[in-house]
Chain A
Amino acid sequence: MPVKNSKPCSKMNTMPDEATLARWLNDELEGAQLAAFEAVIHDTAECLAQRKDLRDLRTTLAAALPATLEPPYPEFFNSRIAKSIRGLTSNGKTRRPTAFFRQVGWMSATAAAGMALAFWVGTKTGAVTHGVTLSHSTPAPLVMQAPAVYTPEHGVDAEWISGTDAAATVIVLEGVDAIPDALDFFDTAALNRTRSATAQWLTTPNMEML
């Protein structure tokens, strides 16, 4: 004796369309549409079992997953979306994809321009002036920042001080072993130095203002 409600979903006498079946499985049917659909499948055990499985699965997923989840790599998705938007023309039509040969042509032109630019930059750098090699291109700005200070000797501390009006970088060493008083530096300052040996910072305009 056949069991009641044993007809499979796919073998129902009155087969509903798949979209309606999917909406019913997802509990999205309401009102008269739901009543009419259930009147058709009320004796179909497989459909009821499938809907129960789906409900259980949704419950399990809802318990396992957080309520909200940030999409991974949002910048990537945003860039893809922005690219898609840019692909639309102003009248709403999708731009035709660029032909392969046209892309190759643009790539070749871009590569040639890049090589030419690199060659031109190479010819403009490396000029030697008074023994100092300087780049003619605009140098990267050297931002004044606290220098990294490291004292490998145990017990020695170094304190960096920016200096008054940024006139100097000052590092104060503490904990350094004193130089023995018996040690003389007789020969050092007595060396005959030329005037050109004077440090640059001693003769700058800022110094004259002090």
Chain B
Amino acid sequence: MTRRICLLMLVPAAWLLPELVCAQGDPGKTVVGKVNVTVYFATDGDVAVSGAKAKVVAATVEKRLRTEQKLRFKQYRLLGEDIQPLFRSYENWAQPLKPSDEVLVRFEARSRPTEKATRLDLELWLSRKKILKTDVLLEGDRPLLVLGPEWRGGRLIIAVSLAADKPPH
């Protein structure tokens, strides 16, 4: 009976042990934040070309985009988004248009993040080619907006921001 109890206790220990060893052995894999990459379709023409499954963008997002003169279009649609963890010392990739790899964002923490801001080394890959490399300071209310390639008469806008841990109101 005692042996059976010991075996039952060993099962969860064996399950947890590798993860604990991995986390303790490589602090570089510690998650220090989350990065959200969103792709919008912006056009002055017919927005229906983006497809029936493209989502309508929230009014607040539209207003935010329209405040930037270079990003001012008549219509916006949400094409896809991806949230990936930001590791302490490893790079990570976001693939907002899964399963397509047409738009990829590689990011890596450049300094220890604070509660409000994170400085990243960031690369934008389009059609499997590195198009842009930059270092950017991301704050909670200050995203990076990249006016990207043309598509179906409009432009793609790639937004990179910090993801909130808590659910929005």
Contacts and interface: CB of A to CB of B under 8 A. Distances in A.
Nearest to B130: A152
Contacts of A203: 164, 168-169
A173 B68 contact: no
B81 A177 contact: no
A168 B153 CA distance: 25
A185 B83 CA distance: 18
B131 A156 contact: yes
Most buried by A among B115, B119, B129, B164: B164
A188 B162 CA distance: 20
Interface in B105-136: 112-115, 117, 119, 126-127, 129-136
B100 interface: yes
Contacts of B119: 142
B88 A133 contact: yes
A200 B137 contact: no
Nearest to A135: B112
A200 B151 contact: no
A134 B114 contact: yes
A188 B97 contact: yes
B132 to A, nearest CB: 6
Nearest to A140: B111
Contacts of A163: 68, 142, 145
B144 interface: yes
B33 A167 contact: no
B143 to A, nearest CB: 4
Contacts of A195: 167-168
A161 interface: yes
Interface string B71-87: 10000011111010000
Assign chain B's interface to a size class: 35 or more
A95 B122 CA distance: 59
Contact of B55 (A158, A189, A204): A189
A177 B132 CA distance: 13
A188 B31 contact: no
A2 to B, nearest CB: 88
A196 B131 CA distance: 30
Given A185-B100, A189-B78, A199 B55 contact: no
B43 interface: no
A202 B53 CA distance: 21
A190 interface: yes
26 contacts: A132-B32, A133-B88, A139-B112, A144-B137, A147-B135, A147-B137, A152-B133, A164-B68, A169-B136, A170-B68, A170-B145, A171-B146, A172-B146, A173-B146, A178-B151, A181-B151, A185-B102, A189-B79, A195-B167, A196-B167, A196-B168, A197-B163, A198-B163, A201-B64, A204-B140, A205-B141
Interface of B: 30-33, 36, 38-39, 50-51, 53-55, 58, 60-61, 63-64, 67-71, 77-81, 83, 88, 96-100, 102, 112-115, 117, 119, 126-127, 129-137, 140-152, 156, 159, 161-169
